Amino acid sequence: MSALAGLLEAIVAEARPQAARGTVARYIPALARVPADRFGIAVVELDGSVHASGDAHERFSIQSIAKLFSVTQALRAIGEGIFLRVGREPSGTAFNSLVQLEVERGIPRNPFLNAGALVVADVLLGAREAAFDELLAFIRERAGSGTIDVDREVLDSERATGFRNAALANFLRSFGNLTHGIDAVLAFYFAQCSIAMNCVELARSALFLANRGVCPRTGERVLTPSQCKRVNALMLTCGTYDAAGDFAYEVGLPAKSGVGGGIVAVIPERLAIAVWSPPLDPKGNSLAGSFALERFTTHTGWSIF
């Protein structure tokens, strides 16, 4: 067993009990049914080496982690123009807040908020003929797995309970910051949140962000070095909802979380790491997952600081 594999085994044992202090997301019925005792962790290094432990090969709904891939696609499609319609600042409010969006007249603070992701969806619908199919193909290619797909049960739950997201979309449209039909934008958004991946696939799919924008597996340049820097900066400052400051303080890595219990993080020029544990803290981040990442950076001494 490698030193990293041994460390991951120890972290799993240490982190699993932490999940008891969290609560699974219940406002999406399909997520409420996911067993709360699941815990997986995977590290993928730039040379392709994989180290995994726990339930690292079980797929789960990536939810808001998908926003990382959609904003990457938006940057590839229209470049910095995306930031004429969505900001780059932390929000300090809940990820699905309507109040801030109204006060700031339809310009979401950042692309990782639900409102920001709806604007990004609108951009992609205008830039790509088959926007969602291209996003899914992009994720499959980065992960090296052609079987990654939408979890239909989760998608049905998203559609049935997405009233707040519909309200956000209507706010955006009222301020002129959506150009496509609300139904089309919501369909894209719900589908991307319902994509299911496992920890190994998720870590591998984010590895280009640890490699100055180049996918190590294929050699393809996904983003320019400057764009890669910008995405990593957004992850650090906005990627874990309104707990981004605490997360940076405790973990010290650019990361993106989702209410399905997943978190993906990168250590530039070294590796990507993904964790999954469904119970969440009050801000919507995986409680045991955040704990595990803190343990990882503390034990290894690897962070961006």
Distance CA 274, CA 264 (A): 4
Q: What is this structure's pTM? A: 0.96
The tokens 């409680």 sit on which residue?
287
Active-site entry in 259, 264, 266, 275: 259
Q: Has 67 been annotated as catalytic?
A: yes
Active-site entry in 34, 70, 123, 189: 189
* Rounded (10°) CA dihedral 229, 118, 103, 236: -20
DSSP-based helix, strand, coil % in the chain, nearest 5 = 50, 10, 35
Question: What is the predicted pLDDT for the residue at 102?
Answer: 82
Q: Has 259 been annotated as catalytic?
A: yes
Distance CA 125, CA 140 (A): 19
* pLDDT single digits (tens) 70-123: 999 999 999 999 999 999 999 877 777 778 888 888 899 999 999 999 999 999
Q: Has 64 been annotated as catalytic?
A: yes
Report residues of the chain scoring pLDDT below 50. Answer: none
Question: What is the predicted pLDDT for the residue at 301?
Answer: 96
Instruction: Kindly list the structural domains of the chain, giving each domain's residue range(s) and its CATH number in brackets, ordered by start.
Output: 3-299 (3.40.710.10)
* Strands 40-45, 271-276: pairing kind: antiparallel
Active-site entry in 64, 91, 277, 290: 64
Active-site entry in 67, 70, 71, 120: 67
Active-site entry in 241, 256, 266, 290: 241
